[in-house]
Amino acid sequence: MIKQLNHIGIAVKNLDESIAVFQKLFANENIHRETVTEQKVEVASFKVGNIIIELTSPITQDSPIAGFLEKRGEGIHHLAFESDDVQSDLNRLSQNSVKLINDTPQPGAHDMLIAFLHPKSTNGVLIEICQHKV
């Protein structure tokens, strides 16, 4: 079951420059940074209250984030909602005619399993469902 908003993903071209911008904005030096090879991205995350702001930059030209940046430029990429069982949520949503990008959860940042819903099914908003690995 989907429980709460976990993070907001922001697509950026230059991760180091973007970190500097958001550090000033949030007056926050506590940054989590990691590469997620399976997703072809590098992320830097700030915790703001109970929400994570996740800056995401491509590490390859064929990364989905690289395609997003090429088409739309920098900006909000997705909203991620935490689930206690991503696969059950994917099954339920698929049965309710929600178009899925991922049929099964994939490895993601912060040691989570993730899956995306197609924005055509969610009013143009890319939605990620994520779950802490058990």
Q: Residues in the chain, how many?
A: 134
Provide the pLDDT for residue 134.
Answer: 74
Number of domains in the chain: 1
Find residue 15's DSSP bridge partners: none
Q: Is the pLDDT of residue 115 over 80?
A: yes
**Each residue of 33-92: pLDDT tens digit?**
999 999 999 999 999 999 999 999 999 999 999 999 999 999 999 999 999 999 999 999
Q: Which domain holds residue 106?
A: 2-132
CATH number at residue 37: 3.10.180.10
Q: What is the pTM of this model?
A: 0.92
Catalogue the E-assigned strands of 1-134: 2-11, 32-36, 41-48, 51-58, 75-83, 106-108, 112-117, 127-132
